Amino acid sequence: MKAIVYEEYGPPEVLKIRNIDKPVPGLHQILVKVKAASVNFGDLRARNFKNISAKNFHMHSLFKFIALMMFGFSKPKKRVLGSEFSGVVESVGSEVSSVKPGDHVFGYLSANMGAYQEYLCVDDKICVAVKPPVLSFEEAAVLTYGPVMAVGVLKNIKINPGDNVLILGASGFIGSAALQILKSRGAKVTGVCSKNKFDYVMNLGAENVIEYKNGDYLNSSLKYNLIVDILGKGDFTKCRNLLKPGGVHLFISFKTAALFNMIKTRFFGNKKVICKIAIGSRDDFLEAVQLIENGKIRTGNLSLFPADDVVDAHRFAEAGKNTGPVVLTFD
């Protein structure tokens, strides 16, 4: 069967189409004929992990060390990228009762990766579910990682109807899901992103969009109850002025300064910093699926590339030419 493999870290050209053995499902496994897989933040990062500078790594360096332990220090341990997939169940192990051959499914593989191949074996206990019929395979393939992470990081974050929220990174996988979850809780969301993604973010339900270039959002006249900072690019000392009393700056990517501010604001001041990690649990995934089924989370502006054109797809996404999610399609 066809797979996209990589044996060295580097630019998109390290991704090669190869023939590898078709996997055979174990007792608790599902064999999926993959129809679509996303090209997301994690794929672009994992493809070139070794060469990402500390400055361009948005998390504390401890996380980079952990990531390199998982993905390989000098060369990739996992040969096949892709953390999100959709497809058709081909066969199941004898202990699987949650799905059956012919079912249309979608799922999130987290750091295990492996969606960039024609057939994929997944454990039935991971984040995998029957695809809501309202979604195409291509849409389903971009609606697992972002929604499950957004559900996780927004857990226990209080929002009241009418609250103002600013999302720094509203056009990305997690930000676009967070926008819609917060909107479904009654928030009025201002999205911050690149200009070419304004339409996408407005169509997902933002009240307002602002560019991050030149720090334009810092001049916003609105005051916010919550700032969701996807890449940790917002400086709390500057963003503090954008928060209402009692407001929260939620970092989902954070370095030492944000952690320090989280501790400091626990004891001082009436504006808080929170640094939060999502674990990507099956429960969070099922909550995300429910939101999708209820029409609360959707996607749009997909850029589709046949799997054979994976190098072009990675180049396109890395250059930020997309106006929404990038998807690889398999025959």
Is 83 a binder of ligand NAP (CB under 6 A)? no
DSSP letter, residue 48: T
Among residues 149, 227, 297, 302, the one that binds ligand NAP under rule CB under 6 A = 149
Among residues 230, 292, 326, 328, the one that binds ligand NAP under rule CB under 6 A = 230
Is 192 a binder of ligand NAP (CB under 6 A)? yes
The residue among 2 and 63 lying less far from ligand NAP, judged by its C-beta, is 63
Is 289 a binder of ligand NAP (CB under 6 A)? no
Asked if residue 300 lies in contact with residue 290, where contact means CB atoms within 8 angstroms, the answer is no
Q: Give, as ranges, the residues between 56 and 75 that touch ligand NAP (CB under 6 A).
A: 58-59
Please state the closest distance from residue 91 (CB atom) to ligand NAP, in A. Answer: 32
DSSP letter, residue 192: E
Among residues 46, 154, 165, 174, the one that binds ligand NAP under rule CB under 6 A = 174
Asked if residue 133 lies in contact with residue 105, where contact means CB atoms within 8 angstroms, the answer is no
The residue among 151 and 187 lying less far from ligand NAP, judged by its C-beta, is 151
Which residues make beta-bridge pairs with 16?
5
Residue whose beta carbon is closest to ligand NAP: 172
Please state the closest distance from residue 67 (CB atom) to ligand NAP, in A. Answer: 9
Angle at CA 145, nearest 5°, toward 279 and 168?
90
90-to-102, 184, 214, 277 alpha-carbon distances in Å: 6, 36, 50, 34
Is 277 a binder of ligand NAP (CB under 6 A)? yes
Stretch that binds ligand NAP, among 75-83, 155-163, 256-264, 271-279 (CB under 6 A): 271-279
Please state the closest distance from residue 89 (CB atom) to ligand NAP, in A. Answer: 27
Stretch that binds ligand NAP, among 25-33, 173-181, 260-268, 301-309 (CB under 6 A): 173-181
Calpha distance 236→229 (Å, rounded): 10
Asked if residue 206 lies in contact with residue 179, where contact means CB atoms within 8 angstroms, the answer is yes
SS3 readout for 84-138: EEEEEEEEECCCCCCCCCCCEEEEECHHHCCCCECEEEEECCCEEEECCCCCCHH
Q: Give, as ranges, the residues between 203 and 222 that touch ligand NAP (CB under 6 A).
A: 212
Angle at CA 127, nearest 5°, toward 124 and 132?
100
Please give the residue ranges that form the binding site for ligand NAP (CB under 6 A): 40-41, 58-59, 149, 153, 168-175, 192-194, 197, 212, 230-231, 233, 252-253, 276-278, 320
